[in-house]
């Protein structure tokens, strides 16, 4: 009969069964809470980031304008160069781009298909601030076709009122095939261009043209190159940073609150889930402490037998390993059951209407697996260390 | 293997006892195959000496060497290795697992580093007259029977040294003889040394070096 824990098992007196089962139960609940909160954290991050056009490369892009009050209305409320320099100097702001608008008159007609004609405004901004920039979004003097990036909010708005006006509704795809004639005119000349919608932007509510076109036409039709930006886009790590918000407030800048509401919700949700995770960790720690007391009691009760085993030549290392190893199946089962429940939870979560469309994974996130692995290693290691310590104490 | 005692003196011993002793404060070495018979009255430190040599206690001055290693410097792991391979003991207080059966008590030592097959347990038990006790719980056996269990347990492993601390105190002449024969046989098989401590010189011991503690 080879040497195994079975031989010495009858010599190890176990502690109270209730505290053992209570420990298992507590550990199971704690591990489950931790796994589910990690999974939910990942889910929320994925779901809310996917739908968030402001966010890209870890940055928020938000538009600010000067607050119009009774005192300052009627005055020039555009951003001056020093305003822009001040914004750039702010450490929380990673980049600043003014929206430059046309000073000449623009009239748009949609040709014969859509009997539509209106005065328009055009704006341009640094390409790096636009969420969707196709390679065709360029313009050179002499080019008759002007690429336009159209706000998807505007398209939605258009589709709301179009039927009442007897105009056809347009899909995101068909809008690119609509021919728009841009009639640009000013004191120094006039010219017609063909406008072509090359992309829709979720981020910027405007009709965007390439900066080269805006500069050329402002100069060509108005002979005016001064920058008048009533809106400025800023690039920041966190649009919800209280420091940034108080800075903007102090400057009397108005922030589009709707745009940051989304990430506020996300941050609140993630905080709740994190709190749940912390609670899970707390429960795990308590359960492990309960185990630790159980183990101490077990070793104290078996002290005489263990001492005799050591006297007879049993190695403390082997004893510690063998005793600690008996918990492996327990820990493993708890973690596997918690993983399975997390999987079921994820499958149920995927059934929710707002989730089903998203491309979420059916399986727990890698961070859950990694946590499971770390937790398993940690518990076994801690057990071994504790048994070893207790054995050294009785020697 | 060789065991050397260099000026070993227990921390709490009267000066007169120390001076009169042939062991305390003296140098002594025991080699493989030697038989050392330590004779001393009660309370003179036989058990302490056995525990010092076996590494259970360190409350002494001087040094004890296993070959060239001072055992005060040995780790618990190294001690367990020595106790599995090199040195075996029969304690005066026997130290059995009281609630285990006789067989379990012997087997727990045998499986640690088997020198004999399992069948050898019943063979030795037969020789020492406790064959019918093998399935009995140890604490229900008489002290004399328990002494024989401890003897068989000590003989289950390989060893270079066998320490015996008054192993026959509760055995009658016949059983003492039987046990002694078995121990001699087992030591001879291994070419092992025997350190035998008792209250008085035993007439049936052969060829021993007798020292007075």
Which residues in chain B (140-199) have CB-CB distances under 8 A to chain A? 157
Quote the mean pLDDT of chain B: 89
The pLDDT tens digits of the residues spanning B165-184 come to 988 888 888 888 899 899 99
Which residues in chain B (73-92) have CB-CB distances under 8 A to chain A? 76-77, 80-84
A7·B108 Cβ contact <8 A: yes
Assess contact for B40 and B166: CB atoms under 8 A: no
Q: Which chain B residues are closer than 8 Å to A1 by Cβ?
A: 107, 111, 118
HSE of B73 in the Cβ direction (CA atoms, 13 Å)?
Answer: 8
Amino acid A14: pLDDT: 72
* Distances in whole angstroms, Cα of residue A131 to Cα of each of A56, A84, A150: 8, 22, 12
The per-residue pLDDT string of chain A (395 residues; one tens digit each, 9 = 90 and over) reads 567 778 788 888 776 778 778 888 888 888 898 899 888 888 887 776 644 555 566 787 888 888 887 777 777 778 888 888 888 888 888 889 998 888 888 888 876 666 777 888 889 998 888 888 888 899 999 899 999 998 888 888 888 888 888 778 888 888 888 888 888 888 888 888 998 889 888 888 888 999 999 989 888 888 877 777 888 888 888 777 777 878 888 888 887 666 566 666 777 888 888 888 888 888 888 888 877 888 888 888 888 899 999 999 999 888 888 888 888 898 899 999 999 999 999 888 888 766 665 677 888 889 999 999 999 998 888 888 888 888 888 77
Amino acid B13: pLDDT: 82
Of B76, B82, B83, the CB nearest to A312: B83
The pLDDT tens digits of the residues spanning B9-30 come to 998 888 887 888 888 888 989 9
What ipTM score was computed for the predicted complex, to two decimals?
0.92
Please tell me the distance from the alpha carbon of residue B203 to that of residue B201, in angstroms, as a whole number.
Answer: 6
Choose the mutation target among A4, A312, A391 for the interface with B, i.e. most B CBs under 10 Å: A312
> Per-residue pLDDT averaged across B72-100, rounded?
91
Structure tokens at A147: 């690429």
3-state secondary structure of B12: coil
Sheet holding B69-70, edge to edge: B27-31, B2-10, B60-66, B69-70
Which is it for the CA torsion A258, A262, A265, A268, positive or negative? negative
Shortest distance, CA A3 to any CA of chain B (angstroms): 6
Q: Which chain B residues are closer than 8 Å to A317 by Cβ?
A: 77
Amino acid B88: pLDDT: 94
A8·B108 Cβ contact <8 A: yes
Q: Which residues, 6+ apart, have CB-to-CB distance to B73 below 8 Å?
A: none
B76·A316 Cβ contact <8 A: yes
- Tokens 């183990």 correspond to A295
The pLDDT tens digits of the residues spanning B41-69 come to 888 888 999 999 999 998 999 999 998 88
Global pTM reads 0.65
């Amino acid at each position: 009969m080879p040497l195994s824990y079975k031989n010495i098992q009858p010599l190890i007196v176990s502690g109270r069964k209730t505290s053992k089962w209570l420990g298992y139960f507590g550990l199971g609940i704690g591990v489950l809470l931790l796994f589910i909160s990690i999974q939910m954290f990942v889910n929320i991050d994925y779901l809310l980031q996917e739908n968030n056009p402001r966010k890209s490369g870890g940055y928020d892009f938000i538009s600010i304008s000067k607050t119009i009050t009774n005192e300052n209305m009627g005055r020039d409320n555009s951003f001056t160069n020093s305003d822009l320099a001040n914004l750039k100097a702010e450490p929380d702001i990673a980049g600043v781009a003014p929206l430059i608008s046309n000073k000449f008159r623009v009239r748009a007609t949609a040709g014969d298909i859509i009997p539509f004609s209106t005065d328009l405004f055009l704006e341009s901004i640094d390409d790096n601030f636009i969420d969707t920039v196709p390679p065709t979004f360029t313009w050179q003097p002499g080019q008759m076709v002007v690429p336009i990036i159209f706000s998807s909010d505007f398209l939605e708005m258009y589709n709301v009122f179009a039927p009442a006006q007897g105009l056809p509704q347009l899909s995101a795809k068909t809008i690119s095939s609509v021919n728009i004639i841009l009639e640009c005119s000013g004191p120094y000349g006039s010219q017609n261009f063909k406008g072509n919608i090359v992309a829709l932007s979720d981020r910027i509510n405007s009709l965007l043209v390439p900066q080269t076109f805006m500069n050329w036409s402002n100069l060509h039709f108005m002979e005016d190159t001064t920058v008048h930006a009533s809106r400025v886009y800023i690039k920041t790590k966190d649009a919800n940073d209280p420091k940034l918000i108080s800075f903007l407030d102090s400057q009397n800048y108005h922030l589009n609150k709707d745009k940051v509401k989304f990430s506020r919700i996300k941050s609140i949700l993630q905080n709740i889930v994190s709190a749940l995770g912390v609670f899970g960790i707390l429960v795990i720690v308590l359960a492990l402490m309960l185990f630790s007391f159980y183990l101490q009691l077990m070793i104290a009760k078996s002290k005489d037998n263990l001492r005799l085993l050591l006297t007879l030549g049993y190695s403390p290392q082997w004893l510690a390993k063998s005793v600690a190893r008996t918990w492996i199946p327990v820990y493993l089962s708890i973690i596997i059951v918690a993983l399975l429940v997390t999987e079921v939870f994820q499958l149920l979560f995927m059934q929710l209407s707002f989730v089903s469309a998203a491309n979420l994974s059916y399986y727990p996130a890698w961070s859950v697996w990694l946590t499971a692995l770390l937790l398993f290693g940690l518990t076994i290691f801690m057990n071994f260390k504790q048994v070893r310590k207790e054995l050294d104490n009785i020697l | 293997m060789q065991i050397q005692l260099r000026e070993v003196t227990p921390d709490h011993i009267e000066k007169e006892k120390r001076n009169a002793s042939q062991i305390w404060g003296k140098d002594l070495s025991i080699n493989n195959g030697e038989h050392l018979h330590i004779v001393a009255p009660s309370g003179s430190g036989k058990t302490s000496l056995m525990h010092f040599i076996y590494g259970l206690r360190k409350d002494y001055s001087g040094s004890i060497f296993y070959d060239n290693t001072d055992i005060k410097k040995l780790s618990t792991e190294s001690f367990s290795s020595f106790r599995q391979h090199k040195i075996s003991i029969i304690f005066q207080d026997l130290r059995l697992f009281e609630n285990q059966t006789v067989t379990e008590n012997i087997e727990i030592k045998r499986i640690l580093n088997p020198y004999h097959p399992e069948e050898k347990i019943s063979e030795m038990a037969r020789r020492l007259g406790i064959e019918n006790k093998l399935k009995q719980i140890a604490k229900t056996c008489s002290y004399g029977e328990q002494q024989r269990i401890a003897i068989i347990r000590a003989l289950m492993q390989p060893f270079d040294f066998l320490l015996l601390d008054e192993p026959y105190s509760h055995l009658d002449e016949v059983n003492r003889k039987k046990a002694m024969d078995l121990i001699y046989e087992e030591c001879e098989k291994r070419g092992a040394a025997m350190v035998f401590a008792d209250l008085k010189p035993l007439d049936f011991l052969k060829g021993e070096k007798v020292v007075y503690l």
